[in-house]
Amino acid sequence: MENTSSNQIDKSYEKLLPKEEVFIPTYSCFYKIHSVNKEESSAKASLGDISKYGTRIICEKRISGEAVLGSVLDMSIFTDVLQYSRKLSGVIRWEKRSEKGWEYGIQFDEPIHLDLFRAIHDSLTGIKIRVESAEPKTPHQKALSIVFQTKEKIQSIQPLLSQLESSLNDHEYAVGYNLKEEIYKSVFLLLSPIYNFLKEKTNELYHELDPVEINYNFSYLREELQCYLFLDPFVKRATTKPLGYAGDFEMMDAIYRDTNEGTNLLGKSLHKCTLNLKSAQAVFHRQNFFYRTILDRLRNKEGKLCVLSVACGPAREMVTLINEADQSTLDKLTIYLLDQDPRAITEAKHGIRIALLKNHKQVDFHCLNVEIARFAANPGKFVQHTGIDLIYSAGLFDYIKMKTAQKICSHLYSILNPTGEIFLGNFSDASDEIGIMEVMDWSLIYRSDEELLKFADSVQGPKTTGVIDDVLPQKFFYLLKSADSKN
């Protein structure tokens, strides 16, 4: 059994719209509404999210008109650096009142060039930042040294790698799959000292710099080494952020796949080095941690177990659970998978369906394509269940600030059953890979035990909290809703 809901469009119109990437801008983006049903307007709206086929807008006041649903809008997008002169026409498919004002779902009359708009805006923003920047123009001496030594090492072996790759291509008929894998592994091992040098030196640099110098110096490292690092599709995706943020479901899936991916032999080897980072291994270990936790709770609970995964991504722990657990165990499970990225939900559904078909099994799962903020404000609206036994989030809290984390944690607590549990993953402040992550422009919030325990500061009610350490550079915040506790 499965159920899917969407925050993008009304259910009655869902089948009319192609499934498309939804982009949530990290910068302020607005609409000028020129007309409503051909009547002139001067209203403005914030852009909530946008895809090739539609958008969600937020207005302070309700759009005027007797019959709002079905109204035709003419509008244009603008930001602080770009006025997109092309007028966009669309139809209002839904409206709702929210804390921010009035929200509307708009279906465009014609598809828009979303990638072009993003590329133009990002370039213009980059120009603006560089022109207005008051940061030092000369990188730190250690940053200059890291670039020089890394380039020198890679450039010295590049001709040999090209020669090796050429030989493999020339004798492709004689080179079997196993031999290729062995060569990839050998090159990875030979390149590892260069990658480790980059990891160690950038981490030293990160901790040595003043906070105001970090962005400039790591931008310099990124730009200078981009021609090599972008041969690894994982690093390229982290830096370019095609969905608007690093750590998206495709990056998580690349870690789970752990295959040889890259533009050429150098790229494949760098990709292997990246996936060999403890930070990448930690991501893989998280799904195992949650798989084992769910399985343990299923085996130790007599009745049904209701689980909620917040920011579920591809939900690989569910695939593992379906593969490993027997049907009688799965019969006890109801799980809600929540993510604001529709492609992550699509990937999760696909993986679970394939696993169910292959294993001839069934499980009660529900997919919720809802913004985290909207869900947190009223979780009971989306999870039609009297009490959740287990709530977990693998990676969301790596990205959100303390006040937001406390607010979400408090809302999640409100939908737990009287003995329910919460597990939240977060990278540790003791990580020695912060520098290399910053080179990728994959910025996370690294926390100590004391900071993780503060997640529960806004929770009103009985609770027991703790922190579970991991052998990898991450921790798990734990909360048990217990009437016997005085915490």
Instruction: Set out the domains of the chain in order of their start, with CATH numbers.
Output: 2-132 (2.40.10.220), 143-276 (no CATH), 280-480 (3.40.50.150)
Cβ-contact 51, 22 below 8 angstroms: yes
**Would you state the structure tokens that stand for residue 451, as one six-digit string?**
């900071």
* pLDDT tens track, the chain, 487 positions: 444 433 333 444 444 434 456 677 767 788 888 888 888 888 889 988 888 888 889 998 888 765 578 888 898 888 877 777 778 899 998 888 888 888 998 998 888 877 777 777 777 777 777 777 665 568 999 999 999 999 999 999 999 999 988 888 777 766 666 777 888 889 999 999 999 999 999 999 999 999 989 999 999 999 999 999 999 999 999 998 888 788 888 899 899 888 989 989 999 999 999 999 999 999 989 999 999 999 999 999 989 999 999 999 999 999 999 999 999 999 999 999 999 888 889 999 999 999 999 999 999 999 999 888 788 778 777 887 668 999 999 999 999 999 999 999 999 999 999 999 999 999 999 999 999 999 999 999 999 999 999 999 999 999 999 999 999 999 999 999 985 544 4
Of 348, 349, 352, the closest CA to residue 325 belongs to: 352
Exposed, middle or buried, 326 (CB in 10 Å: 0-12/13-18/19+)?
Answer: exposed
Cβ-contact 77, 60 below 8 angstroms: no
**Would you state the structure tokens that stand for residue 254, as one six-digit string?**
């690349």
- Specify the pTM: 0.74
pLDDT on residue 403? 93
Q: Find all residues with CB under 8 Å of 91, minimum gap 6, and list them.
A: 70, 71, 72, 73, 106, 107, 109
Cβ-contact 463, 480 below 8 angstroms: yes
Specify which residues 465 forms β-bridges with.
Answer: 479
- Whole-number Cα distances in Å, 434 to 146, 393, 445: 15, 21, 10
Q: Give the DSSP letter string of 226-238.
A: HHHHTTSHHHHHH
Q: Find all residues with CB under 8 Å of 44, minimum gap 6, and list them.
A: 30, 31, 32, 33, 59
